[in-house]
Amino acid sequence: MSSEGTSSRTSVRRGEEEQVIGFDDEAVQIIEQVCGVRMRLEVVSIVGMPGLGKTTLAKKLYNDPFVVYHFYIRGWTTISQVYTIKDLLRGIFGSAFKLKDDDIPTGTTEQLGGELYRRLKDKRYLIVMDDIWDIRACSGLRIFLPNDNNGSRIMFTRRLADVALQAEPTIPPHYLRFLNQHESWVLLQHKIFQGECPYPELFGEGNRIAKKCHGLPLAIVVVAGLLSKTEKKLNRWREVASSVSSYIASDPNQYMDTLALSYNHLPEHLKLCFLYFGAFPEDYHIPEWKLIWLWVAEGFVKEIEQKNLEDVAREYLADLADRNLVLVAKRRFNGGIKACHIHDMLRDLCLTKAKEEEFLQLISQYRDFSSQSNHTTNNIHRPFIHSDFLNYLCSNPVGSDIRSLLCFSSERNRISVEYALSFYQSFKLLRVLDLLSIAMPFLPQEIVQWSIHLRYLALKFEKASLPNSISDLFNLEFLVVKIVASKPITIPNTVWKLVKLRYLVIDSGENHIEDPRFEETIINDGSFVLDNLYTISQVRPSKSCQEVLARTPNLRKLRFCGDFMSEFGFLWFPRLDFLMHLETLKLHSITISITEGHLSSCKFPPNLKRLTISGMVRKWEEMSVLGMLPNLEVLKLSRNAFIGPLWETNDGGFNRLKFLKLHFIATLKRWKTSRDHFPNIERLVVQQCEKLEEIPSELGYIPTLRMIEISHLSHSAANSARQIMEEQQSMGNDGLKITIYPPNEGIP
């Protein structure tokens, strides 16, 4: 076991990064097992009750530089109580090979497992299975993990020891202990003050609070989140100390009183937002946009003068994260939250409180269906389906009082037209409907007769169509549409009659905007403006699109997908220079071919901050146009957005750029730049630029640069990145971190 004060099992945020505290001795012991000399495939296990820090320790080991160097491939998957082997394989694929969901191989479980086996064969790998509940999960995955006697390892975390012992009896599980009194107080101080407590008068009550958490890191972290939001005065800390549960045993249920303390102290506007996390499946990483939009549609977010509701909701989420009630799964380059999730014990708290307050109901088993069959669910306004949606439909649900319905079912059953119509007619007071996890056959013309109250509608269709009657859903604010096989659709001109619409997101193909015919819409003085519309994604650039954009003065985000070509064959997309609030622009060309013209002919919005270009095939000389965009902070180039063997940057450009990503720029061989050309860059990502000969050494001298990530580059480029790191370290610059994937790339 570790010495006093070195085993705090959690993480502390410093600036934008999460820094792990402690685990030193534990990490050394397990690294010896993981990277030891024994060559046969072995299982290393970490065992302990919820909240002790199993996942935190596993992540520390997984990202340890020695471990990263030792293994050619590392993959991670989280195993919830309800799982499929196929979903676990997809999790491993995504993390091990840096793949997005759409890029993960498809097929049956056996086909996916066979492909994983092929890619792992003869390579030393580390696969982490986090939070195993059932030995069958380990057994079901292990048949797809080759044993080549090359030192590969499987690591898993588990709440109970029985699975660990069954999985690998020759290696004893590593049992995490509770923190002692000193460690608990050190952890509490770190979480509140990012160091030692600067108020000596609080030491006594602080130690008392830490002691009452009885060594469980999660309890300490949650209470610290509460204390960080209270006055740093003795009487306030004394009140908290008196409220912390005085009886805590090894049973996780005994910790609920302590965790509930932070919930009880939440401002009223945050309580419903916190309880909403109980609606999502266990270990589900929630995209920030989805959570924010749902909160707004549910009416949880209060209006604040001079701020839109989404920005207020982001402040709510940041507040919950600061209170350590929400875990950040992924951050943006600037430290903002991109995805989040919640600890299992806190999710249990959400479900307990939500049941007490009749706030929501999970439907995850057939008995949950039968309990609702043939009667109205008068008390539960928010059922959330985590199991077979077809079984739910077969139970003939009736929900006259149901306001929100979300489905997280992962089955691939086809929903018949009959069941779909029955479903739409059963819930006439719905305000929030999200069925993106399954495919409905279509959206009927009669939708307005059944769902006039809808504010949030997110559906996946088998047929590519939107009915003209959608305009009668006059309360609709969020419309998210996904079409099976990414088929394009035509957006009917009636959509623009939805004057409350805030977000229009069509997640598929090249979508055509029908002639909007605004002259037929007369409002007051004859003008027609879509003041509330913040996002349009994704649509084909066209004249009809230009007409719509002319009436969206507050648009913030826009994504084009299609041919960026005028009728005469020149580069073209709609003028955007009048969109003063547009901050995010994505340009995705579906045909990768050279088009006559120059980027200087395109009118970019003046306050653009984030720009993504894919497949437009421009010449590097045109990059100077982008460099002159005065507020550009993020630039992502992919799929031969620019072509040519040489990119030579110029003085005076990209003055505010902080994040640069180059992905699959196939023709780029040399990149000549100066430390003065990207004066504020913080992060550089270069992926699959296989002809690039080296990463410019000048980049290492940019004082703001903190991270260089490269993957699947040439040996010479990988070695040039290592030389930058070694040179900077020799000069005392430890602030620059460089990651290379695969980790052994370029090493003879």
Distance CA 241, CA 702 (A): 48
| Other beta carbons less than 10 A from residue 373's beta carbon | 12
Query: Which tokens is 16 given?
Result: 């934008």
Nearest-CA neighbor of 320 among 341, 302, 303? Answer: 341
| Fold annotation for 10-175 | Rossmann fold (3.40.50)
Low-confidence residues in the chain, pLDDT < 70: 1-23, 160-170, 245-254, 364-380, 387, 390, 392-400, 410-414, 416, 448, 450, 463-464, 519-527, 744-748
Residues forming a β-bridge with 642: 618
Residue at 679: amino acid letter: P
The answer to whether the peptide bond before residue 742 is cis (omega within 30 degrees of 0) is: yes
Dihedral over alpha carbons 409, 411, 412, 416 (to 10 degrees): -70
What are the two backbone dihedrals, phi and then psi, of residue 13, each rounded to the nearest 5 degrees? -80, 125
Q: What is the pTM of this model?
A: 0.81
| Environment class of 286 (CB within 10 Å of its CB; exposed 0-12, middle 13-18, buried 19+) | buried
Distances (CA, A) of 109 to 90, 154, 386: 10, 20, 21
Query: Which tokens is 226 given?
Result: 């509460």
Distance CA 146, CA 128 (A): 15
The answer to whether the CB of 434 falls within 8 A of the CB of 408 is: no
Distance CA 546, CA 636 (A): 24
Residue count of the chain, please give it: 748
**What is the reported pLDDT for 380?**
65
Name, in order, each residue with C-beta under 8 angstroms of 266's C-beta and a sequence gap of 6 or more: 274, 323, 325
Residue at 728: amino acid letter: Q
pLDDT tens figures, 412-431:
556 767 777 777 777 778 89
Query: Which tokens is 543 given?
Result: 């004249």
- Long-range CB contacts for residues 411-416, cutoff 8 Å, separation at least 24: 411/438, 413/388, 413/389, 413/438, 414/439, 414/441, 414/462, 415/389, 415/390, 415/439, 415/440, 415/441, 416/441
The answer to whether the CB of 303 falls within 8 A of the CB of 312 is: yes
Residues forming a β-bridge with 154: 43, 127
Query: Which tokens is 509 given?
Result: 């193909």
**What is the reported pLDDT for 12?**
37
Query: Which tokens is 160 given?
Result: 């109970």
The answer to whether the CB of 348 falls within 8 A of the CB of 370 is: no
The answer to whether the CB of 231 falls within 8 A of the CB of 320 is: no
Q: Is 564 helix (H, G, I), strand (E, B) or coil?
A: coil
Q: SS3 sequence, 292-342?
A: HHHHHHHCCCCCECCECHHHHHHHHHHHHHHCCCCEEEEECCCCCEEEEEC
Listing DSSP states for 457-500 in one string gives EEEEESS----GGGGG-TT--EEEEEEGGG---EE-GGGGG-TT
Query: What sign does the CA torsion over 281, 282, 285, 286 have?
Result: positive
Distance CA 283, CA 130 (A): 10
Q: SS3 sequence, 25-92?
A: HHHHHHHHHHCCCCCCCEEEEEECCCCCCHHHHHHHHHCCHHHHHHCCEEEEEECCCCCCHHHHHHHH
Distance CA 144, CA 138 (A): 10
**What is the reported pLDDT for 340?**
95
Distance CA 343, CA 324 (A): 10
**What is the reported pLDDT for 14?**
34
Distances (CA, A) of 484 to 459, 479, 506, 583: 11, 17, 12, 30
The answer to whether the peptide bond before residue 538 is cis (omega within 30 degrees of 0) is: yes
Query: Exposure pattern of 100-113 as b/e (b: 16+ CB <10 Å)?
Result: eeeebeeeebeebb
| Other beta carbons less than 10 A from residue 375's beta carbon | 10
**What is the reported pLDDT for 621?**
93
**What is the reported pLDDT for 62?**
92
**CATH classification of 268-351 is 2.60.40, yes or no?**
no
The answer to whether the CB of 641 falls within 8 A of the CB of 611 is: no
Taking each helix axis from N to C end, the angle separating 135-142 and 85-96, rounded to the nearest 10 degrees, works out to 60
**What is the reported pLDDT for 98?**
83
Name, in order, each residue with C-beta under 8 angstroms of 660's C-beta and a sequence gap of 6 or more: 635, 636, 678, 681, 683, 684, 685
The answer to whether the CB of 147 falls within 8 A of the CB of 40 is: yes
Nearest-CA neighbor of 497 among 482, 475, 480? Answer: 475
Cα distance from N-terminal residue to C-terminal residue, the chain? 38
The answer to whether the CB of 535 falls within 8 A of the CB of 502 is: yes
Query: What sign does the CA torsion over 267, 269, 270, 271 have?
Result: positive
Query: Which tokens is 146 given?
Result: 């080759």
Residues forming a β-bridge with 482: 460
Query: Which tokens is 493 given?
Result: 């001109």
The answer to whether the CB of 95 falls within 8 A of the CB of 149 is: no
Query: Which tokens is 525 given?
Result: 């003085």
Query: Exposure pattern of 294-321 as b/e (b: 16+ CB <10 Å)?
Result: bbbbbebbeeeeeebbbebbbebbebbb
Nearest-CA neighbor of 409 among 347, 454, 461, 364? Answer: 364
**What is the reported pLDDT for 524?**
46
Taking each helix axis from N to C end, the angle separating 203-212 and 217-228, rounded to the nearest 10 degrees, works out to 140
Residues forming a β-bridge with 44: 155
Nearest-CA neighbor of 491 among 474, 472, 467? Answer: 467
